C-alpha cells in the first residue's frame, strides 16, 4: 500500500473533500455507500480580502469552489450530464451588512469602474456574478462556482476564517444523490500597519483622500 501515500498527500494538501451518499435507509444523514461520490475543493487557499473598501482595494471578496461527480463502477465514470450541483455556505447567507465589508458594494463603481451597469453591483454578488449559494456551472468535466463573495463572519456574528461550503448533487428529478463539505478559507487580517504605522483596520494615515482614488478605466 506504500504507493498510495503520494496520492493521499496531494489530496490532503489540496483540501479535497470526498462525499458519500447520505440518503441511506436510516434517513439520519449517516454516510452510506451509494452509486455516486463527489470530490470538492477550493483552489485559492487562504484568500485575503480588505477589512474596509472606502479607500482602496487590495483583494475583493472572492473565492472558488470546484467539484467532480463520479459514478461508482468498474471502471468508475466521471458524470456531468443529467444532474445539477448546488452549493451553499454554513451559517453564512449574506456578506453586506457584516462589519465594514458592505463598503465593497457601496464603492464598487468607484473602485472598478462602470462595468456593472446603471445599478452597480448588487449586494452579496461577487465580481463574476456569483452569489453565496446557487447552482455550480460546468467547466469541462468539473463543476465550478467562481468568485464567491464570502467573508470570514458567520451570520451569528462570529469571526472565523475557515468558512464551510456544502455541495449537493441532485438528479434531473431533484432528488439528492450525494453531498459533501469543503473549506472555503478567507481572512481580512492583511494590513499596512507594520510598514506604514497606520490604523491596521483602515490604513488611512498614508492613503490619499477618497476623491483622488480614480475608477479603473474601461477597456474599449
pLDDT in tens, 113-162: 888 888 899 999 999 999 999 999 999 999 999 999 999 999 999 999 99
Contacts with 113 (C-beta within 8 Å, 6 or more apart), sequence order: 215, 216, 217, 218
Please report, for the chain, the start and end positions of each structural domain, with discontinuous segments joined by +. 2-212
d(CA 123, CA 102): 8
Residue 117 confidence (pLDDT): 84
Give yes or no for a contact between 9 and 151, defined as CB atoms under 8 angstroms apart: no
Q: Which residue has the cell 438528479?
A: 171
Return the ∠ at Cα 88 (arms to 82 and 90), rounded to 5°: 145
Neighbouring C-beta atoms of residue 91, cutoff 10 Å: 12
Helices (H), 63-154: 103-106, 108-112
pLDDT, residue 18, reads 65
Residue 26: predicted pLDDT: 42
Question: Taking the model in full, what pTM does it have?
Answer: 0.77
pLDDT attached to residue 4 = 34
Closest Cα partner for 49 from 177, 175, 159? 159
**What integer pLDDT is reported at residue 198 of this predicted model?**
60
Q: Which percentage of the chain shows pLDDT scores above 90?
A: 64
Maximal CA-CA distance, the chain: 64
The DSSP call for residue 205 is G
Q: What is the pLDDT of residue 145?
A: 98
In terms of Cα–Cα distance, which of 142, 163, 172, 167 is closest to 20?
167
User: Which set of grid coordinates corresponds to residue 183?
Assistant: 473549506
Q: For residues 81 and 177, give the distance between their C-alpha atoms in angstroms, rounded to a whole number.
A: 14
Check residue 208 and give its pLDDT.
44
Can you give the pLDDT at residue 136?
Answer: 98
* Predicted local confidence at residue 83, as pLDDT: 96
> First-to-last CA distance in the chain?
57
Cell triple for residue 165? 461550503
pLDDT of residue 188: 92
Give the per-residue pLDDT at 59.
93
What residues in the chain have per-residue pLDDT under 70?
A: 1-33, 191-220
Amino acid at each position: 500500500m506504500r504507493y498510495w501515500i503520494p496520492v493521499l498527500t496531494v489530496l490532503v494538501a489540496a483540501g479535497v473533500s470526498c462525499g458519500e451518499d447520505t440518503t441511506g435507509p436510516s434517513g439520519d444523514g449517516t454516510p452510506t455507500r451509494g452509486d455516486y461520490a463527489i470530490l470538492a475543493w477550493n483552489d485559492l487557499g487562504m484568500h485575503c480580502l480588505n477589512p474596509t473598501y472606502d479607500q482602496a482595494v487590495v483583494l475583493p471578496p472572492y473565492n472558488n469552489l470546484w467539484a467532480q461527480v463520479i459514478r461508482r463502477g468498474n471502471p468508475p465514470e466521471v458524470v456531468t450530464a443529467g444532474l445539477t450541483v448546488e452549493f451553499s455556505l454554513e451559517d453564512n447567507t449574506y456578506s453586506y451588512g457584516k462589519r465594514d465589508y458592505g463598503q465593497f458594494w457601496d464603492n464598487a463603481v468607484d473602485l472598478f469602474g462602470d462595468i456593472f451597469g446603471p445599478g452597480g453591483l448588487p449586494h452579496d454578488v461577487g465580481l463574476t456574478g456569483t452569489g453565496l449559494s446557487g447552482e455550480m456551472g460546468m467547466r469541462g468535466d468539473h463543476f465550478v462556482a467562481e468568485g464567491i463573495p464570502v467573508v470570514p463572519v458567520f451570520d451569528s456574528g462570529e469571526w472565523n476564517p475557515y468558512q464551510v461550503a456544502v455541495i449537493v448533487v441532485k438528479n434531473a428529478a431533484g432528488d439528492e444523490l450525494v453531498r459533501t463539505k469543503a473549506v472555503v478559507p478567507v481572512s481580512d487580517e492583511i494590513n499596512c500597519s507594520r510598514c506604514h504605522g497606520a490604523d491596521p483596520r483602515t490604513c488611512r494615515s498614508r492613503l490619499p483622500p477618497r476623491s483622488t482614488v480614480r475608477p479603473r478605466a474601461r477597456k474599449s
